[in-house]
Amino acid sequence: MSETPSDRLINLFGALALGVSDCIRAVAAEAMPAGGETAAALVVIGHDAALSIDQLSRVLRMSHPGAVRLVDRLVGLGLVERRPSDSDRRIMHLVLTEAGVAQREKLLALRHDVLLTLLDKVSARDRGALERAADAILASLPQNALSALTICRFCNEQCCPDCPMDQYGPVQSPA
């Protein structure tokens, strides 16, 4: 049995999580002035070209009408297209346009840069321990594919070939 973390570590960890999230959201807001969850939606849609509006709404924890408005905004900006599903014509898949791919790459580069700046303050030896700790904590967070993609909604999947979230597979539509 392991020793219980100190109250100070618990407090620091909570503040760190919120501070890092705030840094990512700040650079995303600068790059995507449309606001709300537009940046997260763009990154998520790039994760899975067969994502539906229903799946996007669940990943972003939005109402279905809110997700429809968000997708309308992204379509209006020329970043996303709706394409009918080959298996069910009632379902529209969301696909990034060339401009959407470029904007997603910009968002991920900005995220990378802000996180790199933060990690530059940590020694190389401590980064190894931090990577192992982050991997263990992340692996314990999701309960299913939906929560895994929700956690990774700002992730660059290209940087994480051994992603702890891969064990959950793709997000499925509800029956």
The predicted-structure confidence for 1-46, as pLDDT tens digits, reads as follows: 578 999 999 999 999 999 999 999 999 998 887 888 999 999 999 9
pLDDT of residue 1: 55
Domain assignment present for 102: yes
3-class DSSP assignment, residue 3: coil
d(CA 126, CA 129): 5
At 175, is the pLDDT very low, low, confident or very high (cuts 50, 70, 90)?
very low
Q: Please calculate the CA angle 5-151-91 and round it to the nearest 5 degrees.
A: 160
Rounded average pLDDT over 98-103: 96
Distances from the Cα of 161 to the Cαs of 24, 50, 107, 147, in angstroms?
22, 20, 20, 19
Q: What is the CATH number of the domain that holds 129?
A: 1.10.10.10
- What is the number of domains present in the chain? 1
Domain assignment present for 162: yes
Domain assignment present for 13: no
Domain assignment present for 131: yes
The predicted-structure confidence for 151-170, as pLDDT tens digits, reads as follows: 888 888 888 888 777 777 77
Closest CA to 101 of 83, 73, 74, 61: 74
**Domain extent for 66:** 18-168
Domain assignment present for 144: yes
d(CA 130, CA 19): 16
Q: How many CB atoms lie within 10 A of CB 5?
A: 11
Which of the residue ranges 46-55, 78-87, 112-121 has the most confident prediction, judged by mean pLDDT? 112-121
